[in-house]
Structure 1
Amino acid sequence: MKSRFKVIAGAAAIAVAATMAGAAPALAADPAATASAGATDTGRAAPADANHRHRATNAVKALVGFYNPDNGRFDPGPSWWQTGNSLQVVLDYEQRAHDRSYLPLIEQAVQTLRAPQDWWPQGGGDFRTDSTDDTGWYALAMVRLYELTHDTQYLDIAKRDEAYIHSFWDDRCGGGVIWDIPSLGYKNAISNSLYLKLAASLHNAIPGDTYYLSRATETWDWFRGSGMINADHLVNDGLTDGCVNNGGTTWTYNQGVLAGALTELWKATGDRSLLTQARQIADATISSPALSPAGVLTEPCEATRCNSDQSAFKGIFARNIAELNDVLPGHPYTPWLRTQAATAYAADRTATDLYGLKWGGPFDRSDIGRQDSGASLMVAAM
């Protein structure tokens, strides 16, 4: 994603309380997580559902407090893509909780934000901007909005976004879409994972489709052979100019989005090897001493300083692992998701349900990336 270092005119300042939650162990034991361990394919334990739904409801309510109806954004600062991520968090909540109370807000935001953006008017609107990943976040939110409303205008936006992203596929490195549109440079994991998930999602949303399925399978064939998945089953950031793995940071969202994309492609094809690959990536992340020290999901930048984009990444991992978990017999990641949620709830939350950077605590401060991440975790743990 690319940051927009400017404040949109009229964006309201968000005043947040930073009352520190009580200290907690690095990994909190959660009775709800224990209760869920025996969940079946057809449902989750009722007491755990009520507990985790309450946490998710409050976290999403706090997230919606960031929304500015004047410009349709959740984030008044530099990262335009994060409003697309915020829309996805709220829509995921609406889907999992069977709650449609935020749909008017979402639809109002979409109508405002789909206008051409002033830094990239040549995109023509509908979220088509100057990096393919930025477009991908919004396009996936539009697929979810279509699933909830059955309003084809949102599916049509997602189709236009898919065509726009695919127009930046070229034969360098054997295929793949580029990340940065002005320079036509850098083939990275996030743009291609998002595109794979988008194409597979469109196929799954359109009865009888073969067009988007062919693009999804082409993208996975390319990604699998690109070298971006390393020997440890973790996804590095991208490719060098020489078309080899650049050894870049294994950001948690790169792990999550690819696992989610493979889950979506499995729904399209029934190929269980895709779920095997997704589980390898998820398990490698969860067991990594670097990404999960003391059992708590941790962004590599947390040891120094995470920027406004990176603060959102862990919630994106949790979202996609929940999607993988939903289709697996026995829902094996439910205990992990609920233990992460219990830890963050106890150690990284204010009295007003704002979340900080480090799920193991202590709470540092609130911003849209941190809140997106915490709320997405709570929704994933429902």
Structure 2
Amino acid sequence: QKNGITNLEMLEAAARLHILTGEPTYRSQAERAWEWLMQSPIRQADGLLNDGLSGDPTSQSDCCNGSSSFGYKPICVNNGGPTYTYVQGMFVGAATALYRISSNITYLAEAGRTLDAVLGQLSVEGVLVEPFQQTADALPPPCTENHDPANGDLYSFKGVFMLQLADFLNASADLRLPAHAPSPLRDGIRTDLVQLILNSSDAAWSLRDQPPWRAVPADACADGALSHLTEGPPKFPMYWKFLAGEPGRTAPARVCQDSRTQISALSLFVAHALVLSETFSAL
């Protein structure tokens, strides 16, 4: 199986290493990875990327080849996995880094297509959400590595997306296009994306918990050593938008407020600050 996130991490790392060092080998590696990615079936027609590729989506084979079949290596097909926010974010970040290297607006156009799909399919009332926010397994304590459907990582995904989005907004703030050349981005998309950050930031802050920590509903990741606190910094849940219509839910479930959810919320607030300081005036 070829995961979207691992290939995107390699792509962006190579591109940023070229930016830092000027070493042409890194640029070549990034461009080759991008070419493979754009030819692979991991990306849907709407611009969103699924979780990865497989030789057989019914059995999640871990043996496949990206472009053709070689006997024991069947051609890769989309595994139909979720369109997690961090995969979209890493794609946008990789495209942004390649744009910074080359000034080729095609990279921004591809990032913009994915971001338009995020706005349409991975947001609720202007707040970023995962393709599924909670499952039955994610609601009750205890909080363990199997507590969410992404092996413990789901709670940090949206923070990854937000930091990459802030970099995209910074890079696209001052496009220098040839005379009469059309913009690679939809009119108004940057304003919509800034609003996504602002809405998500406000929503996350509104769901914060502060000491003294409540006994009901219990914090699934509560640290007994901190139970005596009567004041201090807030903690944040993994979701930033409470969906009141979810089956069996009458109030936000304060589950798994731990280092992952804290880092994700911090990344969101950093993106908020970066947008206000770097790009807001250019919208």
TM range (shorter): 0.5 to 0.7
Aligned to 1:271: 104
Aligned counterpart, 1:221: 35
CA distance in 2, matches of 1:342, 1:318: 14
Q: Is the 8 A contact 2:19 2:101 kept in 1?
A: yes
Q: How does 1:167-206 map to 2 (within 5 A)?
A: 186-206=1-21
Specify which structure has the higher proportion of helix.
1
Residue 356 of structure 1: SS of its match in structure 2?
coil
1:373 aligned residue (254, 258, 264): 264
Q: Is the 8 A contact 1:228 1:245 kept in 2?
A: yes
Where do 1:124-163 residues align within 5 Å? none
2:79 alignment partner in structure 1: 246
Distance 2:114 2:169 in 1: 13
What RMSD, in angstroms, separates the aligned Cα atoms of the two structures?
1.7
Q: Residue 349 of structure 1: CA displacement?
A: 4.4
* 2: CA distance, partners of 1:303 / 1:347: 16
Equivalent residue for 2:195?
Answer: 335
Instruction: Pick the aligned partner of 1:294 from 103, 110, 125.
Output: 125
Quote the residue 1:231 is aligned against.
45
Contact 1:348 1:357 in 2 (8 A): no
2: CA distance between counterparts of 1:257 and 1:278? Answer: 10
The equivalent of 1:164 in structure 2 is none
- The alignment covers a number of residue pairs equal to 194
The answer for the alignment partner of 1:316 in structure 2 is: 160
The yes-or-no answer on 1:346 pairing with 2:206 is yes
Gap runs ≥5 in structure 2: 56-74, 139-147, 175-189, 212-232, 243-251, 274-283
Structure 1 counterpart of 2:271, one-letter code: A
Structure 2 Cα separation of the partners of residues 302 and 334 of structure 1:
22
Instruction: Answer whether contact 2:128 2:196 (CA < 8 A) is retained.
Output: no
Aligned equivalents of 2:105, 2:209: Cα separation in 1: 38
Distance 1:302 1:283, change over 3 A: same
The structure, 1 or 2, with the larger RCO (C-alpha pairs under 8 Å, 6+ apart) is 1
Distance 1:317 1:267 in 2: 18
Query: Relative to structure 1, is the Cα distance of residues 221 and 261 closer, same or farther in structure 2, using a 3 angstrom cutoff?
Result: same
* Residues 297-348 of structure 1 deviation map (CA, whole Å, 9 limit, x = unaligned): 1123423123521111011111111110111227533232122101111124
Code of the aligned partner of 2:2:
K
- Change in Cα spacing, 1:238 to 1:374, as seen in structure 2 (3 Å) is same
Contact 1:196–1:261 (CA<8 Å) still a contact in 2? yes
Which amino acid is 2:116 matched to? D
Contact 1:357–1:363 (8 Å) recurs in 2? no
Q: Distance in 1 between matches of 2:125 and 2:194?
A: 18
1:302 is paired with a residue whose SS is: coil
1:45-56 equivalences under 5 Å are none
* 2:15 aligned partner, one-letter code: A
- The range that moved more, 340-349 or 250-259, is 340-349
User: In the alignment, which residue of structure 2 is the partner of 1:364?
Assistant: 254
Contact 2:17 2:26 in 1 (8 A): yes
Q: 1:198 to 1:247 in 2, by over 3 A?
A: same
Q: Deviations over 1:150-194 (max 9, x none)?
A: xxxxxxxxxxxxxxxxxxxxxxxxxxxxxxxxxxxx211000111
Q: Which amino acid aligns with 2:173?
A: P
Q: Distance in 1 between matches of 2:78 and 2:120?
A: 22
Quick check: 1:260–1:321 contact (8 Å CA) kept in 2? Answer: yes
Alignment-mate amino acid for residue 261 of structure 2: R
CA distance in 2, matches of 1:379, 1:329: 18
Please give the residue correspondences for 1:89-128 in structure 2 after superposition, counting only pairs within 5 Å. none
Tell me the equivalent position of 2:223. Answer: none
CA distance in 2, matches of 1:379, 1:252: 17
Q: Is residue 122 of structure 2 the alignment partner of residue 262 of structure 1?
A: no
User: Residue 239 of structure 1: SS of its match in structure 2?
Assistant: strand
Amino acid at match of 1:356: P
SS at match of 1:203: helix
Aligned equivalents of 1:283 and 1:216: distance in 2? Answer: 24
The TM-score normalised by the length of structure 1 is 0.49
Deviation of the 1:363 alpha carbon: 5.9
Which residue is 1:113 aligned to?
Answer: none
| Counterpart residue number, 1:325 | 169
What amino acid maps onto 1:355 in structure 2?
F
Q: TM-score, normalised by structure 2?
A: 0.65
Q: What secondary structure does 2:202 align onto?
A: helix
In 2, Cα distance between equivalents of 1:348 and 1:259: 28
